[in-house]
A and B are shown apart, each in its own frame.
Chain A
């Protein structure tokens, strides 16, 4: 194995760009006359494509008291329009051998179809139709509201980890809508009505608030021509509100959450810190935090794994997570699942000690080299799945970033220095902005 190891040492210290072509070469973007943004990502290996429309409207844009309406509306967009019957959209995609669905998050709602490349026009025809023409009935509202409540049952109510995470999030944000679950609080979901849905639709569903992302076997000129014809014909909404949300005040008090549930089998400690997100033209700090999450808890050789799972037997699992693609302040998250016989308090102490030691010791340059090597390779592997790249652009562009920001991101990650990482770590890993949660068994369940 000596040969392997010496090669490894060489790879670690190689800083320059290894790979000549990048995915950036395959990305084209432009804007329609009505303000709709378009991104095309080419991959001509197979005659298929993915057609997506992203709206800059998510759960964090909902009015107070109507939590869940962004997601509810997403469901309702599969009902009737002026030109189509309820269910006809998906049935038509299926009849053309395609798949379709949609998803909602804090900052966006997105609709997509995967189909044969020669079906692009039909997809645009239908998607542009439901951008402005939905026709909802009271029956649609009643039935689909039951469906989203069952969805909440499946995703949240039946899962103590999801309930715990919901409470943690609500405590993390004093004043920002990120503290409200995307799917909605149950008691508000139960009151959602036709007006709630239509108000949200009329406010946010418009070409000047939407981004078209087409990936696969297409050329930009063809997309432009069809997009002008179908989406370009829809007038912009002149009353589109500016996307301003209530922001967090300074967070100055560490918070704690203890959540008990009889269905908990494996207790754990969860920690979240308020953290800055990627801002257009100013992504350096987020890049440093992205690498910090890898260093602390990104895999088998990460700092917390070494400390809590290898050097000591405190944990069966640990991890750190950060995604900077967000319109407003996001979170940096850490989880520690204690080993059998280790109390949550001891697990939390071990975590805090490890974090303190990391802040003292700094970054291991060899580990940083390995992480950067993997990020470089990730760009090669990414070319095997352009739909995932399309998703990345959709998320970025609905989170206040530009195509240039997204294109600059991989190189930016490569330039992150040890100093930047430690500066970001000291700034973010502060108790005052944190929530520490314990997911616990019900007391009466502890007995063997």
Chain B
């Protein structure tokens, strides 16, 4: 295999013949903006609905209310209690997924064309008239608490939550959106009704649909579903201050393999240098076997099964995160190697060859994401939330291609902060000094 041959091939790929994802932007009679990819090849539709805010909307002392409320949407609505609702949904072979993150509540619906109206009638009830029956509340509350208790003994969850507490302090980002066993135990039905009233509103709504539906039908469907939501919801909190300093925090936990989450301040999605940072991360730790971290920590030294880093620009803060896991007696070496690579990239930058390889990978892999109706609908809703235009899909690879080695190395020097890179290690690490106590 001659590398030169592949370089030529890669060059050709820079002008790909990808089937266009034709995104249509429409505004419904009631004034809701909707993105649509019409594709009638399979008789079903994926509908993605997002409400900005998510678990960050929890009122003081009510941590976990938005999450529990969201989990209860499928537990009975309108005239149907939980069991009757589930039976009706199964009979239609539709599926509605509800989930709450720190930034949004998402509703991912999938329904057949042949019984679309019936499915949408059910979906409408779950958004507008969830019952929050007492028995359902108790059942789901117990499930949430069981999950929180499990997280308390899961090294990955402990690492993630400990890191967030350090990074964001008292901001909602700094605590678990699912709440604590205590806070969830204390939630009342009124708390859930309040959470519901605060979360679902027109001023924070994003809608995308992909599949077997026309623009005309979709406009009617969306208005039926969402037009009579309240205009405004609960105010979304302000940005979180990222209060990370360097060093290592150790959370003692008896388990054979230490789990580490690491991170530093990140870069905003709208920063003009975002794409340069994105290419930089691909070179440094972006998940493929070719990244520097993967090469140094796994391929050369066998210290881990996986080491990754990623930019995490969220609505209210941007961080640059990573994770690694190594046996207790090897994690110190893994962390040392990662710190060295972080410094090396900051001071010496990366090579032209690495930048070109990263760009080729990122531009080539981008179309692979558009894999199925549901997946495309999720991407479109995400783009709307990020304020991107409908033609972003067509121009995104050009923006990646436009990144130069100079951009990447300037951003590496500015963004990478070896002194500010904090590790949170959960386990019984050997030979690793905790330099910072929490």
Contact = CB atoms under 8 A, between A and B. Distances in A.
Interface in A69-119: 78, 83-84, 86-88, 90-92, 94-99, 114-116, 119
B44 to A, nearest CB: 6
B255 A46 contact: no
A369 B364 CA distance: 44
Contacts of A339: 142
A438 B191 CA distance: 37
A1 B78 CA distance: 8
Contact of A264 (B153, B306, B326, B327): B153
Given A150-B302, A154-B305, A301-B86, A90 B368 contact: no
B217 interface: no
Contact of B90 (A78, A299, A317): A299
Nearest to B211: A384
Nearest to A97: B364
Given A8-B91, A83-B1, A154-B305, A97 B360 contact: yes
Contacts of B394: none
A377 B302 contact: no
Contacts, number: 224
Interface stretch (B14-22, B162-170, B229-237, B310-318): B14-22
A146 B302 contact: yes
Contacts of B255: 157-158, 263
Interface in A157-210: 157-158
B290 interface: yes
B374 A96 contact: no
B115 interface: yes
A147 interface: yes
B172 interface: no
Interface of A: 1, 3-5, 7-8, 11-12, 18-19, 45-48, 78, 83-84, 86-88, 90-92, 94-99, 114-116, 119, 122, 126, 142-151, 153-154, 157-158, 262-266, 299-301, 306, 309-310, 313, 316-317, 337, 339-340, 369-371, 373-374, 376-378, 380-381, 383-385, 387
Given A3-B118, A12-B91, A95-B6, 8 more contacts: A90-B288, A94-B289, A98-B365, A146-B302, A153-B325, A153-B327, A300-B83, A370-B87
Contacts of A337: 146
Contacts of A143: 299-302
B122 interface: yes
A351 to B, nearest CB: 17
B110 to A, nearest CB: 7
Interface residues of B, number: 85
Nearest to B111: A377
26 contacts: A45-B39, A46-B370, A83-B1, A87-B289, A91-B290, A95-B6, A95-B7, A96-B10, A97-B361, A99-B368, A116-B367, A126-B1, A146-B302, A147-B298, A150-B327, A153-B325, A154-B305, A154-B306, A157-B255, A157-B257, A158-B256, A313-B142, A316-B139, A317-B143, A380-B44, A383-B42
A424 B14 CA distance: 56
Contacts of A90: 288-290
B303 A146 contact: yes
Contact of A153 (B7, B18, B92, B257): B257
A46 B366 CA distance: 13
Nearest to B358: A94
Nearest to A317: B143
B101 interface: no
Nearest to A378: B93
A36 to B, nearest CB: 22
Contacts of A154: 257, 305-306, 325
B19 A46 contact: yes
A313 to B, nearest CB: 8
A366 to B, nearest CB: 8
B122 A373 contact: no
The 5 closest A-B pairs by CB, nearest first: A97-B364, A146-B302, A377-B93, A300-B86, A153-B257
A84 B2 CA distance: 9
A79 B420 CA distance: 36
Interface string B66-102: 0000000010001110110011101111000000000
A371 to B, nearest CB: 8
Contacts of A86: 299
A370 B364 contact: no
A110 to B, nearest CB: 17
A143 B365 CA distance: 29
Interface in B18-45: 18-19, 39, 41-44
A415 to B, nearest CB: 18
Contacts of A5: 88
Contact of B19 (A47, A149, A265): A47
Contact of A1 (B6, B18, B121): B121
B302 A94 contact: no
A3 B295 CA distance: 60
A178 to B, nearest CB: 24
Nearest to A268: B146
A380 B365 contact: no
B149 interface: yes
Interface in B315-333: 325-327, 330
B165 to A, nearest CB: 19
